[in-house]
Amino acid sequence: MKKMLNMRNVLIAITFAVFLLFLKDNVDGFWSMITSFLSILTPFLIGFLFAYILNFPYKFFYNKVFGKLGKKTKVLSKLKKPLSIVSTYTFVFAVMIALILIVVPQISINITNLIKNIPTYSVNAANYFNDAVNWINKTFYLELDITEMFDSLSTFLLQTFTGNNFSDPATGAKTILNMFSSTTTGVYNFLMAIVISIYFLSAKEQLCRELKRLAVALIPIKFLPKVYEVVDITDTKCGRFLVGDIIDAALIGFLVFVTMSIFNLPYAALIGVIIGVTNIVPFFGPFIGGIPSAFILFLINPGDMIVFVVILVVIQQLDGNLFKPKIIGNQVGLSSFWVLFSVIVGGALFGIIGFILGTPIYAVIYTLIRKKVKNSIDKKGKIAQEALDFEVLNYAKIAEEQKKIREEKESQQREMLKKLIGFGKSDDDGENEENDELSDE
């Protein structure tokens, strides 16, 4: 049996090594296969995300609004789920339609005015750029070529935002075709995701039950509590964070729109939407939306830009100290440094999805590691607690206590061994005494 097990392990190792060599030589094809597979699953992934977020209003309708339905008659109890699903999607679509009817006309007007005024803004930008270069030349005694620098900057911005050079007609046409194809694919995935989310939400109990059966069947029983713990922490951190972050972003966008309208700043609706959408990204969101918005206002009037920056700073301070703690609470439990770390790493690895989900996913990992560390420290007892207190840390004292603990354990083991040996001798002596008494008789 041992030979068979050893042979099996050798075969598994050889197979794994061959697979790694194959992967090394065909990494591009393998990665292309993975991306193709993920692109097929994109509607299902987006649909699952929609269903996961909409599960929160669904539970409200199911437990609060229709909670008492069917307590007397079983026929009505069967209507709780379909009524809750219909109410959830009706509420969400009503909110979206209201936003479209209120915000979209103003955004379209803002975009139309922005496109119409692009020549004027370009002239203003060129003038500001010329003034800046002239000031640099006079101050630092340089001889910078304004025309060459402006052409280089324009080319860089064009290639950065498009990824191509539109001076070539064929390349420009290809880029436009790719943009049209990407837009069509995105609309298709969005519509299919809505339909799939309805199926996910209606069959969530059955799906969870099947996943639990699969987990019990494939995972050893001793690992199941840890798996359930990870799932519970992930649901707490990611779910509530996502819903709270979306609500918070919508509130910030609305406040920016209202405040800019009060101060009569241009493009209030457009900038409010930009700030609201980008605010979903932790830490970098205000900068991603605020910098281009401030630049647009700077081209119109530098005074408007200053007012906008003050408004944005005040609202972000209110958000960080008042709104976000009330809406999201302490679901993440990360310091500013770890939030920055999770956003940078997540964005570098997974793009925009990593920017949004990097913080809650890292919060799950951080919580599990922190719990493991705490349990390990608690097991070590008083010595570990004293070692954590660096102000009263005494290495000699800790070493002495460790020595005493070892000596006490060794003495306890010796006493137990002596008792066992003594117990065995007493039995033999008793048997001998009984044999002597029988022989005397």
SS (H, E, C) 61-94: HHHHHCCCCCCCCHHHHCCHHHHHHHHHHHHHHH
247 closest CA partner among 336, 326, 352, 362: 326
End-to-end CA distance of the chain: 59
- Output the CA torsion sign for 291, 295, 296, 297: positive
Q: What are the b/e assignments for 335-356, b being 16+ CB within 10 Å? A: eeeebebbbeebbeeeeeebbb
37 closest CA partner among 48, 27, 47, 45: 45
3-state secondary structure of 431: helix
Residue 168 predicted with pLDDT over 60 = no
**pLDDT given for residue 333 in this prediction:** 67
**pLDDT given for residue 331 in this prediction:** 58
How many C-beta neighbours within 10 Å does residue 289 have?
26
**For the ranges 178-187, 209-218, 416-425, the one whose mean pLDDT is highest:** 209-218
Q: What is the DSSP letter of 392?
A: G
Of residues 23 and 275, the one with the higher pLDDT is 275
**pLDDT given for residue 402 in this prediction:** 72
HSE-CB at 55 with a 13 A cutoff on CA atoms is 19
Percent of the chain exceeding pLDDT 90 equals 12
**pLDDT given for residue 118 in this prediction:** 81
* pLDDT tens-digit map of 217-275: 988 888 888 888 888 888 877 777 888 888 889 899 999 999 999 999 999 988 999 99
**pLDDT given for residue 336 in this prediction:** 73
Any residues with CB less than 8 A from the CB of 254 and at least 6 apart, and which?
Answer: 272, 276
Q: With contact defined as beta carbons under 8 Å apart, do 287 and 275 qualify?
A: no
Residue 158 predicted with pLDDT over 70 = no
Residue 182 predicted with pLDDT over 80 = no
In DSSP notation, 171-210 reads HHHHHHHHHHHHHHHHHHHHHHHHHHHHHHHHTHHHHHHH
Any residues with CB less than 8 A from the CB of 189 and at least 6 apart, and which?
Answer: 42, 43, 46
Burial class (CB in 10 A: 0-12, 13-18, 19+), 256: buried
Distance CA 187, CA 185 (A): 6
Largest Cα separation within the chain, whole Å, is 130
Mean pLDDT of 179-205: 86
Residue 353 predicted with pLDDT over 60 = yes
Mean pLDDT of 411-432: 65
311 closest CA partner among 293, 299, 296: 293
Mean pLDDT is lowest, of 80-89, 190-199, 429-438, for 429-438
Residue 189 predicted with pLDDT over 80 = yes
354 closest CA partner among 289, 273, 280: 280
Of residues 75 and 164, the one with the higher pLDDT is 75
Q: Which H/E stretch holds residue 131?
A: helix 118-140
Confidence of residue 426 (pLDDT cuts 50, 70, 90): very low
Q: With contact defined as beta carbons under 8 Å apart, do 51 and 200 qualify?
A: yes
Q: What is the DSSP letter of 267?
A: T
Q: How far is CA 239 from the centre of its chain?
A: 10
Q: With contact defined as beta carbons under 8 Å apart, do 291 and 314 qualify?
A: no
Q: What is the DSSP letter of 391?
A: G
* pLDDT tens-digit map of 91-134: 999 988 988 888 788 888 888 888 888 888 777 877 887 888 78
**pLDDT given for residue 387 in this prediction:** 67
Of residues 346 and 27, the one with the higher pLDDT is 346
Distance CA 69, CA 62 (A): 9
Q: Using alpha carbons only, what angle is made at residue 380 by residues 374 and 383, rounded to the nearest 5 degrees?
A: 110
Flag whether the pTM goes above 0.95: no
Residue 332 predicted with pLDDT over 90 = no
